Amino acid sequence: MFGQPVPGWVRWVAQDASGAWWGYSDEPNQGHDYWYENEVGRYVALGRGAPNPAWQTTLRRWPLD
């Protein structure tokens, strides 16, 4: 699904408007056209897809059910 393996500490995944996929240890906050860590967690780039105008709908708990 992503360009690299997802680290074991990732609990949330989301795509931003540019198409970049990110993994987060804690639930991220929503910015203008991206997600960002909530100051207590960490994050990692997971890959890139096509730009996504519906990026707000991509936030999911990880691992996916």
**How many structural domains are present in the chain?**
1
Length of the chain: 65
Residue 59 falls inside a structural domain: no
pLDDT for 64 equals: 86
pLDDT for 20 equals: 97
Residue 18 falls inside a structural domain: yes
Which residues are CB-contacts of 64 (< 8 A; sequence separation ≥ 6)?
13
Residue 17 falls inside a structural domain: yes
Residue 61 falls inside a structural domain: no
SS (H, E, C) the chain: CCCCCCCCCCCEEEECCCCEEEEECCCCEECCCCEECCCCCCEEEEEECCCCCCHHHCCEECCCC
Domain of 29 in residue numbering reads as 1-49
Residue 63 falls inside a structural domain: no
Residues 26-61 pLDDT 10s: 999 999 999 999 888 999 999 999 999 999 999 999
Residue 64 falls inside a structural domain: no
